[in-house]
Amino acid sequence: MNDSLFARRADRPQIGNGHAEPDSDGEDNLGAFGWLRGIRDRAIMLEVHKKDGNIIAFGYAWLERADFDPSEGITLKFTGHKVKIVGRNLNAVAKNNARLFNVIMRHRVPWIQEAGEPEQMEAPDGATVIEEVMIE
């Protein structure tokens, strides 16, 4: 069973596929982030997928504060770390009214994905694009 979970994550389509594909476990891929559709679904950790292939995960239980400033991006303060998400349309309406900041606040985002240069250029107008995630 764990193998299928890892296989699904490894085969996740990247930004620029033009649509969100539902996952068998109730997760939508919205390009820049995953969204748990179920009303009671909650992610335990937030995975940050960097463009270089590294993945860092933070426990939602350690999220102390979150700020959204349209000109600055999203800042998440976890115990001992600050995560700064910079990009375009970070709180734009995606599928089923999912807005990145709002669904992070509800612990319904299991992963976010930095976009590489080609994905940034190919993203449609109005799409959420995470250009960089800085971790301090």
Residue 18 has pLDDT above 60, yes or no: no
Structural domain that includes position 123: 2-135
Q: How confident is the model at residue 16 (pLDDT cuts 50, 70, 90)?
A: very low
Choose the most confident range, by mean pLDDT, from 20-34, 79-93, 94-108. 79-93
Mean of pLDDT values over 86-99: 82
pTM for the full predicted model: 0.76
Cα–Cα distances in angstroms (integers) from residue 92 to residues 63, 77, 101, 125, 128, in the given order: 22, 22, 9, 11, 7
Check whether 54 has a pLDDT greater than 50.
yes
- Say what the pLDDT of residue 19 is: 40
Q: Position of tokens 């860092």?
A: 56
Q: Are 115 and 32 in contact (CB under 8 A)?
A: yes
Total number of domains constituting the chain: 1
Query: In this predicted structure, what is the pLDDT of residue 4?
Result: 42
Task: Tell me how far apart the alpha carbons of residues 37 and 125 are, in angstroms, rounded to a whole number.
Answer: 24
More confident residue, 14 or 129: 129
When the pLDDT of each residue in the chain is averaged and rounded to a whole number, the result is: 81
